Structure 1
């Protein structure tokens, strides 16, 4: 069991994390863009992309909530060993990880406040598929329009109406990631 915790991290942590951070920020800055994240692979059911995001964005000061099948002992041990991130309830999380269904109810996550909109949670949603098709996206970072598989169009529309409050989302599948910031209009 100890060997499993040690495996799956970055080979060259500073370099790999910097590359992954740039890719994640490109995805967030240009909604609908699908980026590839490589360099880490946590235990199942973590996708490689979700593994890389966790290693890149989480540290001992980053509370994380695990939902559904992702709330497994092996996943907790891997995250603890590689990031030191504390595990918390949904309402205290800066990041929450799981399938769309497992992350429900979505009203339980922090959406920020008028004074501190940046204190909203970011969901890392493990998707059954991720493609540049489906919902039509518009808004900041999108020249005309983009298309992306999103987990729930109605939720995404309601979330955008809360802007500047609301939830940001990273959508992951395999080694691919896309982002759906709260400022993105979805139809």
Structure 2
């Protein structure tokens, strides 16, 4: 299968709308797992969840950053060019959206666009593919959209994630938002969320 030509949604309008709703619900209800609409089944190395979010969030006016492994995959670049026309930037700080196939490929969070006090919404939203959304170390989350507190346990977060996230949270209203994707689903962690190790 040709990822660039055939790797998109079978029904682009309906499926991208459904995926967009899932992403918005994930950010409005931090820590909840929302089912993502899957595109075709490409034979490429890129996780289908990354394809789904990339197709949904990117367009020709949206600068995106791809990690080295994705940028080195000609099929991924063809997918971006054919289906979205989004400009691919090499500097994380210039990206509206960033896509990484694993935490080992992700720069520190503060390397991305953190927005400004006047335009905090111009910060980068990072989409990180992880091995699983449950089964990892227990984390407690608090903040808007969470009643009292919630618990999440994604597998494969970056090293020193709690420290990096705490520094990101202190920048509010600036800071990045994070989408974790795996197993056909998405979990949202907006910048307003506080994250601590579970006990």
* Aligned ranges 1:85-100 → 2 under 5 Å: 85-88=86-89, 89-98=91-100, 99-100=102-103
C-alpha contact 2:3 2:78 (8 A) present in aligned 1: no
Number of positions where the alignment pairs a residue of Structure 1 with one of Structure 2 = 186
Q: What is the match of residue 142 of structure 2?
A: 138
Deviation by residue 1:102-150 (Cα, 9 ceiling, x = unmatched): 1213322110001000010011111122128621111001012111235
Q: What is the match of residue 119 of structure 2?
A: 116
d(CA) in 1 for partners of 2:118 and 2:43? 38
Q: What is the match of residue 76 of structure 2?
A: 75
Q: TM-score, normalised by structure 1?
A: 0.92
d(CA) in 1 for partners of 2:134 and 2:190? 17
| TM-align CA RMSD | 1.7
Alpha-carbon distance, 1:5 to partner: 1.4
d(CA) in 2 for partners of 1:149 and 1:83? 32
d(CA) in 2 for partners of 1:106 and 1:113? 15
Q: What is the match of residue 166 of structure 2?
A: 157
Deviation by residue 1:130-184 (Cα, 9 ceiling, x = unmatched): 1286211110010121112352222112211111111101101131110111000
C-alpha contact 2:38 2:184 (8 A) present in aligned 1: no
Deviation by residue 1:58-95 (Cα, 9 ceiling, x = unmatched): 10001011113222221111111111111002121001
Alpha-carbon distance, 1:46 to partner: 2.0
Query: Which runs of at least 4 in structure 1 moved beyond 6 Å after TM superposition?
Result: none
User: What SS is found at the alignment partner of 1:40?
Assistant: coil
The answer for unaligned runs of 5 or more in structure 1 is none
C-alpha contact 2:134 2:152 (8 A) present in aligned 1: yes
C-alpha contact 1:135 1:147 (8 A) present in aligned 2: yes
The answer for unaligned runs of 5 or more in structure 2 is none
The correspondence for 2:132, drawn from 129, 133, 158, is 129
Q: What is the match of residue 186 of structure 2?
A: 177
Q: What is the match of residue 4 of structure 2?
A: 5
* Aligned ranges 1:21-36 → 2 under 5 Å: 21-36=20-35
Q: TM-score, normalised by structure 2?
A: 0.87
C-alpha contact 2:9 2:39 (8 A) present in aligned 1: yes
d(CA) in 1 for partners of 2:162 and 2:29? 18
Q: Quick one: structure 1 residues 165 and 132, their matched pair in 2 at CA, closer, same or farther if it must change by over 3 Å?
A: farther
